[in-house]
Chain A
């Protein structure tokens, strides 16, 4: 109980970032990498470095020539170059331009 109270003081939202990611297991997730790359897939698991196991993956690369999409079965994504995680996947109407 004491530990929990301490946690609540440090994190008034009552939800740790890792708990949020944990709630995404089994659902679609949209991963925006540092650089011009995005990855969409079903989250199967992750570790303390936020390396992630993803299934039915689409890798979206935005280059000068346009978009290139690679489909992959199951991947282990290195957490090192992840910038942003969006639970629920990528909405259809987002085309990558701001």
Chain B
């Protein structure tokens, strides 16, 4: 498998992904089903996340807004890029 350099080159590891989305709009979904939309400021190895201009959505409805928000990584189901229109 080691000689298949092309495959390895194409692979996008979690850390590559995280580098590529800093400062970008993201959706963070928690295990509870709550969504947070905002600008990703930074994150660490525990998937702790700092976000700006954060909006909290419960069942698709806007429930809260936070200027800055820290989300504890253990609650995170996924971090998604926002589909460009």
Q: Which residues of A contact B (CB under 8 A)?
A: 19, 22, 25-26, 33, 35, 37, 39, 44-47, 51-53, 57, 59, 61, 71-78, 80-81
For the complex, count residues of B whose C-beta is within 8 A of A. Answer: 27
A78-B76, A81-B31 known; A46 and B14 CB under 8 Å? yes
Instruction: Give the secondary structure class of A's interface.
Output: strand
Judged by a CB distance under 8 angstroms, whether B74 is at the interface is yes
* A72-B13 in contact (CB<8A): no
Chain A residues near B16: list those with CB within 8 A. 45, 53
Number of A-B contacts (CB under 8 A): 71
CB distance from A54 to the nearest CB of B (A): 8
> Residue B11 contacts which of A25, A35, A73 (CB distance < 8 angstroms)?
A25
Of residues 12 through 41 on chain B, the ones whose CB sits less than 8 Å from some CB of chain A are: 12-18, 27, 29, 31, 33
Known: A71-B83, A76-B17. 13 other contacts (CB 8 A): A25-B7, A33-B77, A37-B77, A39-B78, A45-B11, A45-B13, A45-B14, A46-B14, A51-B47, A73-B84, A74-B80, A78-B73, A80-B74
Chain A residues near B82: list those with CB within 8 A. 73
* A45-B17 in contact (CB<8A): yes
